[in-house]
Amino acid sequence: MDTLKKRSDFLAVAKGGRLGRRAFVVQGLERARTDAPRIGYTVTKKTGNSVARSRIKRRLRAAVAELSANDIPENADFVLVARENALTVPFQKLVTDLKSGLKQVLDPATPRGRGKPRKGKPQNTTSTRRKQG
């Protein structure tokens, strides 16, 4: 499986579908070209130290390697945004979540996953305060 390496590819996929799982978030975007599917891995610095982040990436790469060619939709790019639970989830559960997530994220009926608006202060961008002076 080819991997995403350019930042512009990661940003393009981020505009596509998004689906949360226990150990990771799957982002996916269909492409017009008929190329092999590509996948990128992201583990932020909030997720443990460098050793933990490397272990998470290795586990995700191994889970992708376990998938057959039929499990991965063609003509699409995917990004796996890892969570800290990726270290503790059983490996077969990781593979199962990945297999179902790759197909669901491309489904137009799947919500984007922006979540509910927060309660509390209104999200008004205009200021009600006047300048003094």
Q: Mention the CATH class of domain 2-104.
A: alpha beta
Region 82-107 average pLDDT: 91
Every domain of the chain and the residues it spans: 2-104
48 or 128, which is more confident?
Answer: 48
With cut-offs at 50, 70 and 90, classify the pLDDT of residue 127: low
Widest CA span in the chain: 68
Average pLDDT over residues 21-33: 89
What pTM was estimated for this model as a whole? 0.77
Supply 43's token pair.
């583990």
User: In Å, how far from its chain's centre is CA 106?
Assistant: 12
